[in-house]
Amino acid sequence: MSPETVRGTRGEDRSNYTREESRAIRQRSLRLLGSLLSPLRALIILTAGVVILSAVFRAVGPTLIAFGIDEALPRAVEDGDWGPTIGISLAYLAIGGGGAALVGWYVVLIAKLTQAVMIELRTRIFRHTQRLSLEFHEGYTSGRIISRQTSDLESIQELLSGSLSELIDAVLLGTFTLIALFLIDWRSGVLLVCMGIPLTLLMWWFVIESQKGFRATRTVSARLIVQFVETMTGIRAVQAFRREKRNDKTFAKVSDDYRRANLRVVNLFGVLDPGLVLLGNITVALVLLWGAFRVTDNALAVGALLAAVLYVRNFFGPLEEVAMFLNSYQSAVAALEKVSGVLEEEPTVQDPEHPVALPVARGALRFDDVSFRYGGADDPRVVLDDCNLAIPSGQTIALVGTTGAGKSTLAKLVARFYDPTEGRLTLDGIDLRELDPADMRRAIVMVTQEAYLFSGTVAENIALGKPDATPEQIRAAAIAVGADEFISALPDGYDTDVNKRGGRVSAGQRQLVSFARAFLADPAVLILDEATASLDLPSERLVQDALQTLLADRTAIIIAHRLSTVAIADRVLVMEHGRVVEDGSPGELIALGGRFAGLHAAWEDSLA
Ligand SMILES: Nc1ncnc2c1ncn2[C@@H]1O[C@H](COP(=O)(O)OP(=O)(O)OP(=O)(O)O)[C@@H](O)[C@H]1O
């Protein structure tokens, strides 16, 4: 089986692989290709048939011309019998027309085939990456995913739609042409084969050099995408820290590298194109000259010589396409390797084999000896250290602690974005790893800091918590968390598109929408990563009131950044270096005079 060192996206950035690794990568690419093509077997066979037939049709033309000149024409000249000449002309017309129709047909068939493969591959990548665990997404940047979905898919499409059909066509036409040439005048055939030596050398040189050139353009274009995506996703930070000039400079540098890499490739074509034309013309001249001697010696008919010249010209015509194919092939193979790597990744958080149903959850959580390391058991950095906790149903927990203490990690384990490295985490006595995923998602909802709104209306955004909710239920949820007032004031009320002008909402309002979403979802356990952005006082009060409603009658874990939130908690957990160091009600912890008491005193001072 495949070596683990290159499994999935591992080793993606390396440029050298061992033979075993290369084989593993090649095998997974082929497996992917096979799985994409095998359902299209019938279409592939039909396309291949049409391509072969069209090449045969086109290869017959010059032989017909030779036959017309050497056999039919003399009868018209000598006996006035035009029948054979007209017959040959009509046959040429039929062959030409048939060939053209077949070319038209196979162009359509290849397009169909390509699009069928592309839609399947595009869907697979999207579905798969969407299902991969948070661990994958936190490590693999969105710029890289975008590259897979855009430039890599384009390379594969280019190969399938254009280059591959051109190659097959060129090879078939070349083969049939060579056979026909040998049949009509084998000496010209031998001459053409001899010219194959400088031809092969030229193509070889081009493929080696262009491989380097295209690799460079691909690397630089990936850097361009990453640079662009990073700037755009971080546009707020870019503008806030006035990074525009520096970014302009970096972007200009990468753009210039891209220009240079492209020029390098174009220069290669500047040698290949005239080289092919020159070799073609030399071969035609030699065939013509040698043929002419033999015509004068009566060893070769004029028509046969004309056909030989036409065949030689036919042969050189599509060679540039062959060189182009070799290039698209290289980039498509590299793309396929990367795409198949992403598809080979498996969610680290696996669905249970025998899911345990929990139709109605009470919301009692337990951590039994839970330890967690982001890199798995071999990672030396312990982020959660032997955590034992029992959170009874209906309790509101506030998690506080220094930055990096492990609060978000603890929350991510409860939401099962990650599984514990050691120990177990249960909801109502059932290990989260065994719980039915649909029941788990219904029972545990996490509201993140960013309060993300999807494109669509405000109502659709709230209904995310319960897709079959009626407009009345959506409104009731908004009223419950105090969001109704501002939503009703939007240009189209609940039907306002959040991405359109006028539909733009403030950070606090976005939070209220995400609260309404969670309220409607009505989970037994709510995890809330409180936004750190400071709201103005009226908004903060609004959010605090909404929070009270939202937390009633359910288990809640709040990563509390504001001590005003801590006041509404039943219990406070103070975390430090992956451990819970204080645990009690806010009052108890203040009385204890420990870390929380210190934080609380500092907060009170800041209010004074
Ligand atoms: N995806 C990740 N991969 C590797 N390490 C991570 C990852 N996410 C967090 N960490 C590390 O785990 C530790 C705990 O991080 P965590 O985000 O849980 O802290 P936190 O208490 O929520 O901090 P904050 O209040 O700043 O959000 C940190 O040292 C952090 O660097």
Amino acid at 357: A
Q: Provide the residue ranges of all domains of the chain, joining segments of one domain with +.
A: 19-344, 365-607
Total Cβ atoms within 10 A of residue 537: 8
Helix (H, G, I), strand (E, B) or coil at 6: helix
More confident residue, 491 or 222: 491
Q: Which residues contact 603 (CB under 8 A, 6 or more apart)?
A: 563
Range with top average pLDDT, 98-102, 227-231, 527-531: 98-102
Ligand 1 centroid, distance to 404 Cα (angstroms): 5
State residue 45's pLDDT score. 92
Would you state the structure tokens that stand for residue 585, as one six-digit string? 């009600």
The structure tokens 């190659």 sit at 167
Residue 1 has pLDDT above 60, yes or no: no
Using CB distances shorter than 6 Å, the residues near ligand 1 are 138, 374, 383, 401, 403-409
Amino acid at 39: P
As a whole number of Å, the end-to-end CA separation of the chain is 67
Distance CA 405, CA 599 (A): 15
Closest C-alpha to ligand 1, atom 5: 374
How does pLDDT run across 211-229, given as a tens digit for each residue?
A: 777 777 777 887 888 788 8
Closest C-alpha to ligand 1, atom 24: 403
CA triple 55-58-63, angle to 5 deg = 125
| 563 secondary structure, DSSP code | H
More confident residue, 532 or 462: 462
Distance CA 440, CA 356 (A): 10
Q: Do domains 19-344 and 365-607 have the same CATH topology?
A: no
Q: Which of 133, 370, 373, 407 to mutate to test the pocket of ligand 1 (most atoms within 8 A of CB)?
A: 407
| 380 secondary structure, DSSP code | S
Closest C-alpha to ligand 1, atom 30: 404
Closest C-alpha to ligand 1, atom 16: 406
The structure tokens 């009226």 sit at 538
Residue 119 has pLDDT above 90, yes or no: yes
State residue 348's pLDDT score. 85
C-beta contacts of 251-257 below 8 A and 24+ residues apart = 251/224, 251/227, 254/220, 254/223, 254/224, 254/227, 255/224, 257/220, 257/223
Ligand 1 centroid, distance to 173 Cα (angstroms): 62
State residue 470's pLDDT score. 92
Which ligand 1 atom is the nearest neighbour of the CA of 410? 18
Query: For residue 444, what is the enclosing H or E element?
Result: strand 444-447
Q: Which of 138, 140, 403, 409 to mutate to test the pocket of ligand 1 (most atoms within 8 A of CB)?
A: 409
How does pLDDT run across 217-272, given as a tens digit for each residue?
A: 777 887 888 788 888 888 888 888 888 888 899 999 999 998 998 898 889 888 98
Which ligand 1 atom is the nearest neighbour of the CA of 561? 25
Total Cβ atoms within 10 A of residue 431: 16
Q: What value does the mean pLDDT take over residues 186-198?
A: 90
State residue 563's pLDDT score. 76
- The domain 19-344 is placed in CATH, from the list 3.90.580.10, 3.40.50.1010, 1.20.1560.10, 3.30.565.10, at 1.20.1560.10
- C-beta of residue 47 within 8 angstroms of C-beta of residue 53: no
pLDDT band at 476 (very low <50, low <70, confident <90, very high): very high
Helix (H, G, I), strand (E, B) or coil at 379: coil
Ligand 1 centroid, distance to 408 Cα (angstroms): 7
- If 0-12 CB within 10 Å is exposed, 13-18 middle and 19+ buried, where does residue 567 land? middle
Which ligand 1 atom is the nearest neighbour of the CA of 406? 18
Would you state the structure tokens that stand for residue 176, as one six-digit string? 């049939």
- C-beta of residue 569 within 8 angstroms of C-beta of residue 560: yes
Ligand 1 centroid, distance to 368 Cα (angstroms): 21
Q: 526 forms bridges with which residues in the sheet?
A: 445, 556
Instruction: Report the percentage of the chain scoring pLDDT > 70.
Output: 96
Ligand 1 centroid, distance to 402 Cα (angstroms): 11
Which ligand 1 atom is the nearest neighbour of the CA of 411? 18
State residue 83's pLDDT score. 85
Residue 209 has pLDDT above 60, yes or no: yes
Would you state the structure tokens that stand for residue 32, as one six-digit string? 């992917």
Helix (H, G, I), strand (E, B) or coil at 317: coil
More confident residue, 214 or 483: 483
Which ligand 1 atom is the nearest neighbour of the CA of 138? 1
The 3 state secondary structure assigned to 248-273 is HHHHHHHHHHHHHHHHHHHHHHHHHH
Ligand 1 centroid, distance to 560 Cα (angstroms): 15
* Reported pTM: 0.76
Distance CA 347, CA 437 (A): 13
Residue 118 has pLDDT above 90, yes or no: yes
Closest C-alpha to ligand 1, atom 12: 383
Distance CA 516, CA 477 (A): 5
* CB half-sphere exposure, 401, CA atoms < 13 A: 23
Q: What value does the mean pLDDT take over residues 520-529?
A: 91
- C-beta of residue 477 within 8 angstroms of C-beta of residue 519: yes
State residue 531's pLDDT score. 66
Residue 150 has pLDDT above 70, yes or no: yes
Closest C-alpha to ligand 1, atom 4: 374
Closest C-alpha to ligand 1, atom 2: 374
pLDDT band at 135 (very low <50, low <70, confident <90, very high): confident
CATH fold group of domain 365-607 = Rossmann fold (3.40.50)
Q: What value does the mean pLDDT take over residues 392-400?
A: 92
Q: Where are the alpha helices (DSSP H) in 185-318?
A: 186-233, 235-240, 244-296, 302-316
pLDDT band at 535 (very low <50, low <70, confident <90, very high): low
Q: 368 forms bridges with which residues in the sheet?
A: 424
Residue 607 has pLDDT above 70, yes or no: no
State the complex-level ipTM: 0.96
State residue 121's pLDDT score. 94
Q: Which residues contact 433 (CB under 8 A, 6 or more apart)?
A: 350, 352, 416, 419, 424
Instruction: Report the percentage of the chain scoring pLDDT > 90.
Output: 28
Closest C-alpha to ligand 1, atom 7: 374
Q: What is the mean pLDDT of the chain?
A: 86
Ligand 1 centroid, distance to 492 Cα (angstroms): 40
Q: What value does the mean pLDDT take over residues 132-156?
A: 84
Ligand 1 centroid, distance to 406 Cα (angstroms): 6
State residue 418's pLDDT score. 92
Crossing angle between the packed helical segments 244-296 and 186-233, to the nearest 10 degrees: 170
